[in-house]
Structure formats: structure tokens, C-alpha cells
Amino acid sequence: MGFFTHQHSTTSISTAFARIGPYKQSSASFSHSQIRHIKPYIVYPTRDEFRIPSTVLFAMPSSEMPLSLIPASNQWSNIAALSFAASLAQLLGKTTTIGRLLGAPIVAMTLTFGLSSLNIVPPINSASSWLTLLPSGGSPASTLLQTISLTLATPLLLLGTSLRGKALQKCSSLLGSFLIASLGTLIGAMVAVMIPSLFSILPSMMHASLPNGDGIKIAAALLAKNIGGGINYMAVCSCLGAAPESVAAGLCVDNVMSLLYFPLTSVLASKYDDTDDGATEVGSDAQQDETIQTESLSHALTIAVVLTALGQHLNSMQPNSSLNLSLPITTLLTVLFSTYYPSNWFLSPTSTKFLQTNNAGNSKGIAKAGEYLGNSLLYLFFASVGAPGWRLKDSIRQSFPSIAIFLIIMYGIHLGVLWGFRRIVISCTRQDTTNTSFWMKVVAPQRLLTGSSAAIGGPATAAALAQANDWASLRTPSLLVGNVGYAVATFVALMFYSTFR
């Protein structure tokens, strides 16, 4: 968090920041008339960890204080406004043309960006000016909401990620396609920072255009997002300590580039019919009218909180205190729990044994409840990302060219790897026709496009592509392999960062 420095008189103080407890200070100059505007308020940690909030004296001259209808100190009003924006974004994302183009997450971020940047509230009296609804620069409430929503959404969304079982085995060919797509994303990211002509240009551009030299951090986070999803992007940003401006800039540019990528995959997919190779039985459960029970919601939240607490504890024990590994550790714990926890035990993500009601047979249990809760929290998270408002403007404008070039190279290599692997398999099958049926399934255009969508857009995007093109045999498998992306993307990105930082 920054502060403003002003020189208005000969008298000054050196207390821009004074932390109650261990005293810390930084020099800045303020006049006697400005000292009275030093106000205490609660500042919550921006890193993804729960600590007791510290009371801070934050010095800002009144002339620089942004005017908003809801002050930064009013926590519940800020949370209410952000929650309303998250709900409205989901509606606009489904019912409006621009909402469908941008996607509900970006709509949520745009709404809160506007509410904290644009003077849309009429003046309360003749002496005042037009106001913003939300405080510009964010608030302690938005930071708190961002921390809680991301921290709990990660384990909630991963409760259905079991890396063993018959369902995953039956979609092994699509899993192969997804792994090829993920490899293409990784190679694309590596090429973007390694090829000689850009070795000293693109990384330097990203380093210079983002706050705190966050270029390689955002590159790693974008790699994670384009193998897994938004939760992986935020997990990497949180782990590496990327600045909020950098986080928002990377997310914004990535979604703009997605507006070009996904229509391309939709056009290509429209040329092909369903593979129809008997895999429809994997998706048979998707045809049922599923209901979520109160017990499932409660159990899912309990598991998420327990795993988060355990992840926070293990992170506090690791020697490198500058690296926040709480979310990656929680991710690993959740995947292990979902994979190996006995299905007939209490709190099993895949069991409905303990939901003995008339609708127990129609319940997907804890895993489905976790998906609903996790998605709801993600919308709250995206709403909080846009809360700083104009504070993000310069970062997005300055970093757009470098991040866009990085993504263009990564997407181009990604598609090139898919096309090249298909050509290699077809060439090999012409020479040797034995044991080629599996690989021909892997490189079927329907599976490659679905695997690509699962990597670039996540499981929901892949399932939407399959449904839009009537690929019934790929709808549920696409959700399964997309969850695999959630499970591995964070760790791949952290290894990428450790190699190229």
C-alpha cells in the first residue's frame, strides 16, 4: 500500500506508516493542517494467509482522499456492494451479448472497477461533488473478501478431483489429448521467454511494465491458468507475492486474448460429429436431475476449512518464509484427500451413504456441493479484484503489449503442438498399423479441441464446447480431465518460475 507525499509548510512529520506494536516508519512530509486527517483503520494481509489484522495509522492528506458514498471503513457495506456486483455479473454474463463475450468473471471485475472509478453518485449537498460508490484504491473489506474467497474456493473446487477410478480410466484417450494440449502450453511459455530474438526483449518488457518486476511471476501464473484455471492463476500469484495491479493486468489481458481463441476453436469444432466410441456411459450421471442437500454443503465447507488450516500450518513450518506455499500445499492435500479417502467413510467427497433422505439417490454429494460453493466464491473473488479501480489503470495500459505478445506466442505454439502431434501420429500409423487405435483416438480432432479447451479455459469451457457441438461422449470426460488440470497446473507453473526467474 502506498502513501502520498506533500510539501505544504516548513513543519513536517515522519510517520507515514506507524505500526502499533513493533514500530516501523517511513518518511513523508505533512503540514499541521493535514496531521488531523491521519486516521486508524484495519489493514488485512494481501498474501493468502490468515493473520490477526494490524491496526495501522495511514496518513493521507484530505485533498487526496477519494470521495465515495461508501467509505473504506464501512466493511459490511463494501462487502454488500461487491457481493451484489458478483451476482449481477452472473446474470449479465448469461443474458447480454457483451457479457457472453467477456464472461461473467470479467464482467464482475469491470463492474467493481467502474463503481470505484466513475463518479456516478450525485452530490449529497451543494458543497460536495459527484461521488464514486466504492472507495477508489480498494478497502480492507475487499482485501479480506479476496483472501477468504480464494483460499476456500481452491479446496472446494478440487473436492471432485480423484486421480483414480473407472471414470478417469474410461476417458484415458481424452486425458492423453489434454496432456498434449498442456504440453503445448508449457512449450509455448518456454519459447516466449527463451527464443534468441526475444530473450532480452519480452522478459524485459514484462519486467518493466508490471509493478515490482512481476513479469516472470505473471508469466508463470498465466501458464497455470492455461493448463488449469483461474484458481491456479491466483494460487501462483499468491504464492509468488505478485502485486494486485499485476494480478489484475494479467487476468484482463488473458481474457481479452481468450475472446480471439475460443471463437476459433468453436469454428473448428463445428466441422466434426461426435466420436461416439462407447464412452457415453461415463457421462450417464450427467443426465440425472441432481440435487444438493444441506448436509453436503456443510460437509464440503468443513473439509475445505480443515484442509486450508492444515495447509496454512504446514506452510508456516517451511523454512523459506518469503514464499507463501499455503495454496499449493492445500491443493496437494485436497487432491490426495479426494483420491485416497475411503468412499464409504464419513465426509467422503464421492459418497452419499450418510445422506439418508428420500433424494439420496439423486445427490452427487460433497464434491458437487464443493463445486457450487467454490464457483460462488470465485465470483466474489473476481469482484474484489476490480475494487481498486483507477489504481489498476496504468498497470493494465502499460503491460498490455508485453502480456499480449507472450500469450500470442504461447497460444500459437499450443496450437502448433496439437497440429504437429496429430500429423506425426497419422504418419506413423501409415507405416505401422498395429496398436494404433489408442493414439488415433487421442489425436481425433474432437478430443484435441476438447483437450485444448480444457487446458486454456478449464473444465466448464471444455464441457460447453462438447455440449454446443453435440459431443455427448466427451461432455463428462471433459470435466474430469479439466479437474486434472486444476490439480497439476500450480506445480507446473511454480517449477517454470523457479527455472526462468
Q: Quote the domain boundaries for residue 58.
A: 17-64
The beta-carbon contacts of 164-172 under 8 Å, at least 24 apart in sequence, are: 164/339, 167/282, 167/476, 167/480, 168/480, 168/484, 170/279, 170/281, 170/282, 170/477, 171/279, 171/282, 171/476, 171/477, 171/480, 171/481, 172/438
pLDDT in tens, 218-271: 999 999 999 988 888 988 988 888 888 888 888 888 877 877 787 788 788 888
Region 261-285: what's the mean pLDDT? 68
> Is 124 among the domain residues?
no
SS (H, E, C) 241-274: CCCHHHHHHHHHHHHHHHHHHHHHHHHHHCCCCC
Are 329 and 462 found together in one domain?
A: yes
> For residue 487, is pLDDT > 60?
yes
> For residue 363, is pLDDT > 50?
no
pLDDT of residue 398: 80
Q: In the 8-state DSSP scheme, what is residue 286?
A: G
Region 441-467: what's the mean pLDDT? 86
* H or E stretch covering 40: strand 39-43
Place of cell 509468488: 240
pLDDT in tens, 140-151: 888 888 888 878
Region 473-496: what's the mean pLDDT? 85
> Is 345 among the domain residues?
yes
Region 37-60: what's the mean pLDDT? 37
Phi-psi region of 327 (alpha: psi -120 to 50; beta: other; left: phi over 0): alpha
> Is 111 among the domain residues?
no
Global confidence as pTM: 0.67
C-alpha cell at 414: 499450443
pLDDT of residue 122: 66
Reported as a pLDDT band with limits 50, 70 and 90, residue 308 is very high
What is the percentage of the chain residues whose pLDDT exceeds 70? 70
Region 168-178: what's the mean pLDDT? 81
Q: Which residue has the higher pLDDT, 263 or 306?
A: 306
pLDDT of residue 84: 93
Are 51 and 171 found together in one domain?
A: no
> For residue 28, is pLDDT > 50?
no
pLDDT of residue 165: 63
Region 8-16: what's the mean pLDDT? 36
Reported as a pLDDT band with limits 50, 70 and 90, residue 290 is low
> For residue 488, is pLDDT > 80?
yes
Contact 474, 274 (CB under 8 A): yes
Q: Which residue has the higher pLDDT, 146 or 4?
A: 146
- Using the 3D structure, point to which of 33, 64, 95 is the last residue of a domain: 64
Reported as a pLDDT band with limits 50, 70 and 90, residue 436 is low
> For residue 304, is pLDDT > 60?
yes
> For residue 311, is pLDDT > 80?
yes
Reported as a pLDDT band with limits 50, 70 and 90, residue 25 is very low
What span, in angstroms and rounded, lies between the C-alpha atoms of 372 and 250?
26
Q: Which residues contact 423 (CB under 8 A, 6 or more apart)?
A: none
Reported as a pLDDT band with limits 50, 70 and 90, residue 276 is low
Reported as a pLDDT band with limits 50, 70 and 90, residue 93 is confident
> Is 97 among the domain residues?
no
* Mean of the per-residue pLDDT values of the chain: 74
pLDDT of residue 167: 60
pLDDT of residue 435: 57
Secondary structure tally for the chain: helices H, strands E: 20, 3
What is the percentage of the chain residues whose pLDDT exceeds 90? 16
Q: What order of strands is seen across the sheet that includes strand 54-58?
A: 17-19, 54-58, 39-43
Reported as a pLDDT band with limits 50, 70 and 90, residue 418 is very high
Region 159-179: what's the mean pLDDT? 77
- When divided into structural domains, the chain yields a total of 2
> Is 99 among the domain residues?
no
Are 436 and 302 found together in one domain?
A: yes
pLDDT of residue 294: 81
> For residue 499, is pLDDT > 50?
yes
pLDDT of residue 302: 92
pLDDT of residue 36: 39
> Is 109 among the domain residues?
no
Are 39 and 179 found together in one domain?
A: no
CA angle in degrees (0–180, nearest 5) for 20-23-26: 110
> Is 415 among the domain residues?
yes
Collapsing DSSP to helix, strand or coil, 324 comes out as coil
Are 334 and 431 found together in one domain?
A: yes
> Is 438 among the domain residues?
yes
Q: Which residue has the higher pLDDT, 275 or 403?
A: 403
pLDDT of residue 168: 64
Place of cell 464446447: 465
> For residue 449, is pLDDT > 80?
yes
Reported as a pLDDT band with limits 50, 70 and 90, residue 379 is confident
